[in-house]
């Protein structure tokens, strides 16, 4: 993967629609975002539906509207090893050469038949496929279940050393936390690219719920900005753009030039962000 400082690498994340009725003008969304020459698009799995079929449909839909690579998120928690490997083989057949390897949140039903964590999944995929890109999740403010910051960092290093090519971060708003995370990884000898996950916030109340769940901090200055506009959705949409532009610029200043946009299956806000960079 190349990192060109004057032009950041960008990628866009989609999630599978719950029903066909929601698809609407999604093909246009992909085509609009495609004009920004993303390095890849990605399609999540498991967060809203454990079956692979909705992810498959979404991957196909994206592939039909771009020639850019489409990465598949694969979660171990809801697929036993055989089902997971069969699915990856099928994805490979349909041209997918990039997997975002994850454990997922829904771990209550995991048994010995499942890969127990993302590191095990990365090792299993790398053993079988030498020609795919593998990304893993990284948590600048540490994963919510981690015993300590150091344990989380050591574990992230293990995931990368198991054969992953890069990490995509959880969304964040505190660039100081990202700076520390980057330095901590460098101290551990990790030199694989950090892809910064950017969440444009068009619904502050909803984001606060997500941030609480994921244990992501929300700086006071950001809170004040959003609180000042209240429930005004147009003003929040404008803040989503300006706040994200600032975040990308502050992140670039740290020497990180890869950005993965959690674009919520919509083009408008992300388009405005990228045009404003």
The residue among 73 and 182 lying less far from ligand FAD, judged by its C-beta, is 73
Q: Residue 159 in contact with residue 119, Cβ under 8 Å?
A: yes
Residue 115 to residues 75, 100, 103, 171: CA-CA distances in angstroms? 9, 15, 8, 25
Among 168, 178, 194, 256, indicate the residue that binds ligand FAD (CB under 6 A): 168
Quote the least distance from Cβ 264 to ligand FAD, whole Å: 13
Contacts with ligand FAD in 81-110 (CB under 6 A)? 100, 102-105
Helices of type H across 118-232: 118-128, 149-161, 175-187, 204-214, 220-229
The residue among 18 and 276 lying less far from ligand FAD, judged by its C-beta, is 18
The residues, any chain, with a CB within 8 Å of residue 62's CB and separated by 6 or more, are: 14, 30, 41, 43, 70
Q: Count of CB atoms within 10 A of residue 68's CB?
A: 18
Question: Quick check: 140 binds ligand FAD (CB under 6 A)?
Answer: no
Stretch in the footprint of ligand FAD (CB under 6 A) among 22-30, 60-68, 143-151, 173-181: 143-151
The residue among 192 and 225 lying less far from ligand FAD, judged by its C-beta, is 192
The residue among 14 and 226 lying less far from ligand FAD, judged by its C-beta, is 14
Quote the least distance from Cβ 234 to ligand FAD, whole Å: 29
The residues, any chain, with a CB within 8 Å of residue 164's CB and separated by 6 or more, are: 101, 122, 126, 134, 135, 136, 192
13 catalytic per annotation = yes
Question: Quick check: 146 binds ligand FAD (CB under 6 A)?
Answer: yes
Which is catalytic among the residues 13, 145, 231, 238?
A: 13
Residues designated as active site: 13
């Amino acid at each position: 993967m190349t990192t060109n400082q004057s032009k950041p690498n960008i990628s866009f994340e989609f999630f599978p629609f719950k029903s066909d009725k929601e698809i609407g003008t999604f093909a246009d969304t992909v085509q609009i975002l495609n004009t920004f020459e993303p390095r890849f698009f990605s399609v999540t799995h498991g967060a809203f539906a454990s079956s692979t079929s909705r992810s498959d449909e979404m991957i196909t839909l994206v592939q039909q509207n771009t020639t850019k690579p489409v990465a598949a998120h694969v979660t171990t928690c809801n697929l036993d090893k055989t089902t997971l490997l069969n699915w990856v083989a099928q994805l490979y057949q349909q041209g997918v050469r990039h997997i975002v390897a994850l454990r997922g949140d829904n771990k209550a039903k995991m048994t010995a038949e499942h890969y127990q964590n993302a590191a095990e999944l990365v090792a299993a995929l790398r053993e079988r496929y030498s020609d795919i890109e593998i990304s893993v999740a990284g948590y600048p403010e540490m994963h919510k279940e981690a015993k300590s910051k150091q344990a989380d960092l050591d574990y992230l290093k293990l995931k990368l050393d198991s054969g992953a090519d890069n990490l995509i971060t959880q969304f964040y708003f505190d660039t100081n936390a990202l700076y520390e995370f980057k330095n901590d990884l460098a101290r551990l000898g990790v030199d694989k690219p950090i892809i910064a996950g950017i969440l444009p916030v068009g619904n502050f109340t909803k984001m606060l719920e997500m941030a609480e769940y994921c244990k992501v901090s929300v700086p006071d200055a950001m809170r004040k900005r959003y609180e000042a506009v209240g429930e005004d959705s147009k003003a929040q949409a404008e803040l989503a753009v300006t706040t994200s532009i600032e975040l990308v610029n502050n992140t670039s200043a740290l020497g990180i030039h890869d950005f993965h946009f959690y674009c919520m299956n919509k083009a408008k806000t992300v388009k405005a962000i990228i045009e404003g960079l």
